[in-house]
Structure 1
Amino acid sequence: MQQRSPVTIVLLGFVTCGIYHLIWMHQVGEEMRARGAEVPPTWHIIIPILNFLWMWKWAQAAEKVTNGALSAGLVFVLLWFLGPMAAFLVQPKFNEVH
């Protein structure tokens, strides 16, 4: 997976009022999909009911791609409660995936 700085992700997320965070989630989702994980299309995140399912599937894909280094439940909770700050905590594990 592409190496990204967690600090840069958070700063760009704040500067762009969250738009970069959506772009980051889309890019990482595409990378996870390329590694065989099942990630629904990113546009699902803008539909109120589907966004829960999308975040859960994204979290499961994160667990699969990192070989269990990230827990799907933890990633889901981070995405739900911390939003853009979740990228700061999750991206270092993605950086370890080659």
Structure 2
Amino acid sequence: MDRILLKQRSAAAVFFLPLITFGIYWIVWLAKTRGEVNGQGTSVPTTWLFIVPFVSIWWLWTLSAGISKVSGGGTGGKFALLLLLGNIGATFVQAGMNTRSRGIAGSAHAFATA
């Protein structure tokens, strides 16, 4: 069975939908990603903390650490810096998650068929 850690979404949609929805989709993307990451065993706090000034930076760092833990990356610093760029950074993070998920699913499939 293929195990995909995080849902694959269109990176273009992650870039353009916040522009069309005046930033609302970016918050929705953050909340959905937080839910998926927490479903894999991390403990990122509620997305409501994202709207609190200065706390939002810590919250983005925590989400980034969760993404890194689930995806097998490093400390999460590179994701945090990207997420601070808003929907531009989220686009790069989503593209990286898509690539990593495809690689994990492909290697699991190759292992199961071997």
8 Å CA contact retained: 1:66, 1:93: no
User: Aligned residue pairs: how many?
Assistant: 96
In the TM superposition, 1:20-35 aligns within 5 A as: 20-35=25-40
Which secondary structure does the structure 1 equivalent of 2:54 belong to?
A: helix
Q: Which has the greater radius of gyration?
A: 2
Q: CA RMSD in A?
A: 1.4
Shift of 1:93: 2.5
Deviations 1:4-62, CA, capped at 9 Å, x for gaps: 00001111111001100100010011000000112110000011132121011001001
Q: 1:87 aligned to 2:58?
A: no
Moved over 3 A (4+): none
Q: Any stretches of 5+ residues in structure 1 without a counterpart?
A: none
TM-score, reference length from structure 2: 0.78
Among all aligned residue pairs of Structure 1 and Structure 2, give the percentage whose two residues are the same amino acid: 32
Q: 1:78 aligned to 2:76?
A: no
In the TM superposition, 1:1-98 aligns within 5 A as: 1-68=6-73, 72-80=76-84, 82-95=85-98, 96-97=100-101
TM-score, reference length from structure 1: 0.89
Q: Any stretches of 5+ residues in structure 2 without a counterpart?
A: 1-5, 106-114
